[in-house]
């Protein structure tokens, strides 16, 4: 006999299991070995974090998650800020920080432990209004150059996937559009929301319809912290199931990002 379980019941079970997993004493020695939780925050992805225009303080869903995790561990949180995802990866891999917020990628996964995703975002292409390129399918062609943030999820993905177009590396993701214009490159690639903001800021630019990739944003920890990784994985699942992530996205007025589904 087969039994069907209602999707809402599944979510409730996930939330219950995650809550049970994080209700046990947290492995503070693994997650905060210096007595504080050092959290790498990437300002290069506006979906995750930005600087408050009035105070200059970090704000965003990743900041909220870091502070909530620190609260549960009972330790202060030190926000270590970066302008590029590649720098976050380096800091986590070298255990210079205790947690980071980065896209899931097999290259990055070789140097760190990664949780299931908490947020799903889209990667898009930007071109000039005068460009003959009309669709995503026309980008990977001989003669086209695509500028990406060095070490970003887009860089790693396109390095694997491109067959004909060539990649050009900007120092950071926020510098992609400026590099695109300064070097008269055919296409810019990055976070859809960042490129939309650039198109509003600068005349003569347009986004191609749709997306060329989906990015799964997760929390990462240095390798070798197995108990810590299990705890943070359960923490992420609870934060999704409880509505914490959705509320953070709404509070920070983030559009175009979705809460990732529960891990099966």
Length, in residues, of the chain: 264
Whether the predicted pLDDT of 192 surpasses 80: yes
For residue 144, pLDDT over 60 is answered with yes
pLDDT at residue 151 in the model = 84
- Is residue 78 domain-shared with residue 187, that is, in the same domain? no
Name the residue among 63, 182, 209, 159 with its Cα closest to residue 195: 209
| Number of domains observed in the structure of the chain | 2
- Statement to judge: residues 161 and 238 lie in one domain: no
Q: Are 102 and 228 contained in the same domain?
A: yes
Q: Does residue 79 share a domain with residue 26?
A: yes
Q: Of 213, 233, 250, which residue sits at a domain end? A: 213
Cβ within 8 Å of residue 5, ≥6 positions away: none
Q: Which tens digits make up the pLDDT trace of 157-185?
A: 999 999 999 999 999 888 999 999 999 99
Q: Which of 213, 231, 250 is the last residue of a domain?
A: 213
Helices (H), 148-222: 153-161, 176-182, 192-201
d(CA 3, CA 262): 20
Quick check: 4 pLDDT over 50?
A: no
The values of phi and psi at residue 182, to 5°, are -65, -35
Confirm whether 200 is domain-assigned. Answer: yes
Q: Could you tell me the residue range of the domain that residue 131 belongs to?
A: 121-213
Residue 139 within a domain: yes
Q: How far apart are CA 93 and CA 69, in angstroms?
A: 20
105 and 196 co-located in one domain:
no
Residues 184 and 240 in one domain: no
**Has residue 35 been placed in a domain?**
yes
Alpha-helix runs per DSSP H in 51-119 = 61-73, 85-93, 106-109
In a domain, 40, yes or no: yes
Q: What is the pLDDT of residues 48-84, one digit of tens each?
A: 999 988 898 999 999 999 999 999 999 999 999 998 8
Q: Is residue 264 included in any domain, yes or no?
A: no
Instruction: Give mean pLDDT, residues 206-220.
Output: 94
- Check whether residue 199 and residue 135 sit in a common domain: yes
Q: 65 and 148 share a domain?
A: no
Do 180 and 234 reside in the same domain of the chain?
no
Q: In this model, does residue 107 exceed pLDDT 60? A: yes
pTM attached to this predicted model: 0.76
pLDDT > 90: what percent of the chain?
71
- Do 30 and 155 belong to one domain? no
Q: Is residue 244 part of a domain?
A: yes
pLDDT over 80 (residue 12): no
Contacts of residue 2, defined as CB under 8 A and 6 or more positions apart, other chains included, come to none
Which residues are paired to 206 by β-bridges? 127
Same domain, 100 and 165: no
Residue among 111, 89, 113, 98 at smallest CA distance from 33: 98
Q: Which residue, 198, 213, 228, sits at the end of a domain? A: 213
Indicate if 181 and 127 belong to the same structural domain: yes
Q: What CATH number should be reported for the domain holding residue 29?
A: 3.40.190.10
């Amino acid at each position: 006999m087969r039994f069907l379980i209602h999707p809402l019941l599944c979510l409730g079970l996930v939330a219950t299991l995650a809550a049970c997993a994080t209700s046990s004493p947290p492995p503070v020695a693994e997650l905060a070995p210096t007595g504080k939780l050092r959290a790498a925050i990437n300002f290069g992805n506006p979906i995750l974090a930005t600087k408050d225009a009035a105070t200059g303080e970090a704000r965003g869903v990743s900041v909220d998650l870091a502070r909530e995790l620190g609260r549960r561990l009972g330790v202060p949180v030190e926000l270590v800020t970066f302008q590029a995802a590649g720098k976050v990866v380096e800091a986590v891999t070298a255990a210079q920080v205790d947690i980071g917020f980065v896209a899931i990628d097999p290259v990055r996964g070789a140097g760190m432990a990664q949780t299931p995703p908490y947020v799903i975002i889209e990667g898009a292409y930007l071109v000039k209004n005068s460009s003959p390129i009309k669709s995503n399918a026309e980008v990977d062609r001989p003669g086209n150059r695509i500028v990406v943030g060095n070490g970003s999820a887009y860089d790693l993905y396109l390095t694997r996937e491109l067959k004909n177009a060539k990649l050009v590396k900007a120092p950071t993701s926020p510098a992609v559009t400026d590099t695109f214009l300064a070097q008269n490159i055919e296409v810019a690639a990055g976070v859809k929301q960042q490129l939309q903001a650039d198109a509003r800021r600068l005349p003569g630019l347009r986004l191609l319809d749709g997306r060329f990739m989906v990015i799964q944003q997760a929390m990462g920890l240095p390798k070798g912290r197995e108990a810590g990784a299990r705890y943070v994985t359960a923490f992420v699942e609870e934060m999704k199931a409880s509505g914490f992530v959705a509320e953070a996205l709404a509070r920070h007025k983030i559009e175009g990002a979705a809460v990732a589904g529960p891990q099966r």
